[in-house]
Amino acid sequence: MPDNDDMTTAAQEGSPAPEALIPGTLQDDIGFKLRLAQILAYRAFEDRVKGYGAAPRYLGLLAIIKASPGQPQSRLAEAVALQRSSLVTILDRLEKDGLLKRRGSDSDRRAKGVWLTKKGEAVTEELRAMAKESEERAISGLDAESRKALLTALDCIIGNLR
């Protein structure tokens, strides 16, 4: 068996990169692969977008707010599967970045509705376009039928876990 110095030298001399380390027990683990795909997809997207602050990380939330303005914070927390306290921290940050505003609800004085600012709307549109390009890269080997089946399967998983 080669010692560590021999292995280091081989790696430095241009040996092919090793295959990904996925233990056999995780080879067919859907949860592991979903999480890995999510991390890799987000990393690829984040590498493309600079200068948007926290917005890329919370693009899904921003898109929900854009599509359904004025929703109470509790409803938004449910939509993105977060605890309300965690969402408040995120909303604070996005509000500080000038992307959204919160104000009291006309129908319930205890609730605060959330709206995008003009800047938030523009940033959300720009990021959605870039996210769509990243998604196309990620699913480039799938035909239309496979894409639809993937969306159906993901909707089922999400529904089961809600």
Distance in angstroms (rounded) separating the CA atoms of residues 26 and 160: 21
Whether 86 contacts 74, CB under 8 Å = no
Tens digit of each residue's pLDDT, the chain (162 residues) = 555 555 554 445 556 667 777 777 788 889 999 999 999 999 999 888 988 988 999 999 999 999 999 999 999 999 999 999 999 999 999 999 999 999 987 777 778 899 999 999 999 999 999 999 999 999 999 999 999 999 999 999 999 998
Distance in angstroms (rounded) separating the CA atoms of residues 6 and 92: 53
Q: Which of 95, 113, 96 has its CA nearest to residue 104?
A: 113
Query: What is this structure's pTM?
Result: 0.79
Structure tokens belonging to residue 122: 């523009």
Q: How far is CA 21 from the centre of its chain?
A: 23
In a 13 Å sphere around the CA of 9, the CA atoms on its Cβ side amount to: 5
Structure tokens belonging to residue 102: 């919160």
Q: What is the CA radius of gyration of the chain?
A: 21
